[in-house]
Amino acid sequence: GRRGYPEAVYCEGKTPAQVAGIAAAVRDRGATALFTRAAAGHAAAVLGELPDARHDPDARLLAWPPEPPAPSGGRVVVVAAGTSDLPVAREALLTATYLGRECELVVDVGVAGLHRVLARLELLRSARAVVVAAGMDGALPSVVAGLVAAPVVAVPTSVGYGAAFGGLAPLLTMLNACAPGVAVVNIDNGYGAGHLAAQIAAPA
């Protein structure tokens, strides 16, 4: 992979046969790889070539080899605003883990219940990079960025009622965060969020 990080294979829009071919090549080259956005058929194709790959169906991710590298650099804390944001948050967490960071997950701390965010302040402030996955109003990264000194990687999710427009609403919220220090990535792009956080928290 580029710069010592695992290669990423974006499975959506590829056939299982194409993914199997890529997995076989990964095995033959002895490369390290993450397969993202893997539906059931993609997962089966990967496991056919790399039977001991780690598969996390919630995150729709497979990693090979299954052991992540020993952690180095700073800590990454991943926050899911609500239960519905968990798949994206887990994708971020696993990505950062396989890029070599120590990671912690925090769930269900949305803006409507500030005390729950405030209760996790110490953990949040221990991070070298914080990832926040949120849908609907996408307001949580603004709040977290106001509480911590580290960069906040904000990943909007496509969760919400009609006027969320598939993640557009939280995306705009995050781009307009009134606290500085918010780095925005694409809608539902947990892989990108985890990758960016791992780069930020990389050893100097």
Ligand X SMILES: Nc1ncnc2c1ncn2[C@@H]1O[C@H](COP(=O)(O)O)[C@@H](O)[C@H]1O
Q: Token match 């299954």: residue?
A: 66
Query: Is residue 164 at the binding interface for a second copy, with CB under 8 A as the rule?
Result: yes
Dihedral angle at the C-alpha atoms of 121, 125, 131, 134, nearest 10 degrees?
20
User: Would you list the DSSP string of 18-56?
Assistant: HHHHHHHHHHHHT--EEEES--HHHHHHHHHHSTT-EEE
> Residue 176 Cβ, how far from ligand X at the closest point, in Å?
9
Indicate the burial class of 126 (C-beta count within 10 angstroms; 0-12, 13-18, 19 or more): middle
Rounded least distance, CB 35 to a second copy, Å: 13
Among 29, 57, 72, 83, which residue sits at the site for ligand X (rule: CB under 6 A)?
83
The encoded tokens of residue 25 equal: 């090549």
Other beta carbons within 10 Å of 10: 13
Residue 157 interacting with ligand X (CB under 6 A): yes
Q: Is 77 in contact with 104 (CB distance < 8 Å)? A: yes
Nearer to Mg ion, 53 or 182 (CB): 182
- Tell whether residue 178 is a contact of ligand X (CB under 6 A): yes
At its nearest, how many Å lie between a second copy and the CB of residue 66?
21
* CA nearest neighbour of 140 among 161, 122, 123, 155: 155
Tokens read off for 129: 């990079």
Restricted to residues 132-151, the positions that interact with Mg ion (CB under 5 A) are 145
Answer with the entry of a second copy, ligand X, Mg ion, none that 29 interacts with (C-beta below 5 to 8 A by kind).
Answer: none
Query: Out of Mg ion, a second copy, ligand X, none, which partner does residue 182 contact, by CB within 5 to 8 A per kind?
Result: a second copy
Residue 145 makes contact with a second copy by CB under 8 A: yes
Q: Does the protein bind ligand X through residue 72 (CB under 6 A)? A: no
**Beta carbon nearer to a second copy, 65 or 146:** 146
Tokens of 60: 């729709």
Pick the binder of ligand X from 58, 113, 118, 125 (CB under 6 A): 113
Region 33-62 residues binding a second copy, contact defined as CB under 8 A: none
Binding site for ligand X (CB under 6 A): 10, 81-85, 108, 110-113, 134-136, 157, 159, 178
